[in-house]
Amino acid sequence: MKTSIQQLDCYFIPSEINAKSEKLVFHNNNSSIQLNVPKLEVNDLQKIIKVIRQNRDRYVKKLSTNDIISIIDRAIELWLDPNFIYRRLAEEYLPIITGYDGEMIHLFLSKYLRNFRKEKLQRMIEEDFPNPFVLDEFRPRRAGGLYRAYGPKMITHFFSGNVPGLPLYSLVAGMLVKSATLGKVSSSEPLFPVLFTKTIEMVDPDFAKTMAIVWWKGGDELLENKAFTQTEAVIAYGSDRSIQAIEQRIPSNVNFYPHGHKISFGVITKEALTRTLGRETARRAAHDASWFDQQGCLSPHVFFVERKGDYSPKEFMGMLANEMRNVETKMPRAKLSSRENNLLIQERSKAEFQSFTNTKVAIIHSRNSTAWTVVYREDDKFPLSTLNRFITVVPIHSIEELSEKLDLVREYLQTAGVASSPARFQKVINLLGELGVNRICFLGNMSNPEPGWHHDGRFSIADLVRWVDVESTVEETMDTFDPFRD
């Protein structure tokens, strides 16, 4: 008997656009879903862009920043209700689309979405702008004169699909600077941006008319070239290869904001390996190494563990393995492709073979599966992970060794998760800052950045705007042209 497959329309385009459709089919967790996406022709995309730009000029550019924050906040409030229709759809279908554990997705959404409540959004604005009202009107400069910030009329977003929900950062940034939104979803996770945009439509239908969320096959030059010639800015997430392909075709007058491949790691000082703290440190490390199967740029590849704690780095490796096992029991890893599974098996076999003749290498892993792997290596600098819960512990004598360990990967560094005492924390973060890290958090929080963080070391919102200065001499000279001047 043929099993029926669930279907869902997965796009958000102006109602006046009638595009043909095609389907994306996903199979996971013994379930299947068909997502119907528009099969766009260049003329369709041209019409979509024209409509959302016109609607932006008609409506959004006249809103205040606080108006927009309130719209986003009301949408988030809906999503924080587990019974909200689009939240239920996300929790039902994202495990099928991504293969990630449903409980992990539920916990992630509950925590992540709170980063976009009203107070957090206000902090994002104030983090980037000394005077938040510059997005709404000309404001006085301290040095004299006036200034104002203008966002792009339209931003084209290339969303990533490795972690559900991450496109929200890019979407919200574009909304806050009053830009029309053209979002191109990833083939590996096209659903969340659509559901959130539909929520904006529920809250403010006129604002939603400035947004379009569509899919096309990556590298479609006809569609992408049309988008590039009609936009003022492009924000792209993806591999270095895809980022380079996009960059080569963007006109020189279009601002490009790439977010390519990055790597992260953890640092555990001896003070975090006392008899009372060691197991909690291992629990936090296992959380970071397991969350979304290390697929995000914020996930650690390596834990550098300082010697001379109550627990040695090798003993910590055993505790970490135990905690990785616990996480797998509660939130199983996604099912892998044959290629991914074979790669894990090869890396395990390599480490096991080395451990037979080299006491400086050890490995502990899940039995009868590739669910998780912990490797111990004394002489390596920065062993890159195959991902999918494969983590390496590298012992260090002191944190100063990090300078040498990170030397070859400095240009790719993203986040460092630190477990340290207050007394040494300043020393640790100063060193990490010098070495090129652009985000430092406490261990256990690596995959949940705070609102307003400087992604890839840049401003989240201020980078998107252009500034207009009115010089102080205008005010002074203008007085002489006042017909009512005495």
What domains can you pick out in the chain, each with its CATH number? 6-261 (3.40.605.10), 263-442 (3.40.309.10)
Mean pLDDT of 126-144: 92
Residue 3 confidence (pLDDT):
53
Separation of alpha carbons 416 and 413, rounded Å: 8
Mean pLDDT of 368-376: 97
Sign of CA dihedral 379, 381, 386, 392: positive
pLDDT of 344 strictly over 60: yes
Q: What is the Cα 188 distance to its own chain's centre?
A: 15
Q: What is the Cα 341 distance to its own chain's centre?
A: 25
pLDDT of 440 strictly over 70: yes
Sign of CA dihedral 206, 210, 213, 214: positive
Tokens for 124, please give them: 């994002």
- The DSSP symbol for 114 reads G
Strand partners, 303: 266, 393
Instruction: Quote the pTM value.
Output: 0.93
pLDDT of 485 strictly over 80: no
Mean pLDDT of 66-91: 98
pLDDT of 484 strictly over 80: no
Closest CA to 382 of 373, 390, 392: 392
Which residues, other chains included, contact 77 with Cβ-Cβ below 8 Å and sequence gap of 6+?
Answer: 117
When pLDDT is cut at 50, 70 and 90, the band that residue 450 belongs to is confident
| Tens of pLDDT, residues 22-32 | 999 999 878 99
Tokens for 458, please give them: 């840049």
Strand partners, 442: 418
The answer to whether 264 touches 416, Cβ cutoff 8 Å, is yes
| Tens of pLDDT, residues 147-200 | 999 999 999 999 998 899 889 999 999 999 999 999 999 999 999 999 999 999
Residue 65 confidence (pLDDT):
97
| Tens of pLDDT, residues 238-292 | 889 999 999 999 999 999 999 999 999 999 999 999 999 999 999 999 999 999 9
Concatenated DSSP letters of 433-475 = HHHT--EEEETT-TT-PPTT--GGGS-SSGGG-EEEEE-HHHH
First to last CA, the chain: 93
Residue 1 confidence (pLDDT):
40
Residue 4 confidence (pLDDT):
63
Strands (E) across 206-327 are located at: 211-214, 233-237, 255-259, 263-268, 300-306
How far are the Cα atoms of 151, 219, 318, 319 from residue 325, in angstroms, in the given order? 47, 40, 11, 10
Average pLDDT, the chain: 94
Mean pLDDT of 207-221: 95
144 or 402, greater pLDDT: 402
When pLDDT is cut at 50, 70 and 90, the band that residue 486 belongs to is low
Residue 172 confidence (pLDDT):
96
